Amino acid sequence: MNEKIKVNTKKEAEELLNISREEIDKIDHEILELISKRTKLAKSIMYAKKILDRNIYDEERERVVHENIKKMATQKNMDEDVILKVMTLLMKLSKDTQKNLE
């Protein structure tokens, strides 16, 4: 999304601001829906881990996830460190969810 947006008047700027905020609100809703889906999957993973007698923390899986996130962040020209922090928080949410099911 490297397009230049031309806004010449205050009215156009106000309209752009309002439209952009509405879109961000929609995206925030979508993000929360995805986090909810991710958390539900973490519960499924916990049930499988219990049957397989595996620990909640899987160092190798976490390493792979971090590598994948770094690659995607780089491809999308996003700040790798910030994206990793976000994903680390999501993984913590998953682990906490799994711990609560033990």
Tokens of 35: 């986090």
Fold designation for 10-101: Chorismate Mutase Domain, subunit A (1.20.59)
Residue 98, pLDDT > 90, answer: no
Q: Residue 79: pLDDT above 70?
A: yes
**pLDDT tens string 23-41:** 999 999 999 999 999 999 9
Does position 1 have pLDDT exceeding 60, yes or no? no
Check pLDDT > 60 for residue 2.
no
Q: How confident is the model at residue 82 (pLDDT cuts 50, 70, 90)?
A: very high
By CB atoms closer than 10 A (0-12, 13-18, 19+), residue 70 is middle
Q: What is the mean pLDDT of residues 69-73?
A: 95
The whole-number pLDDT of residue 4 equals: 75
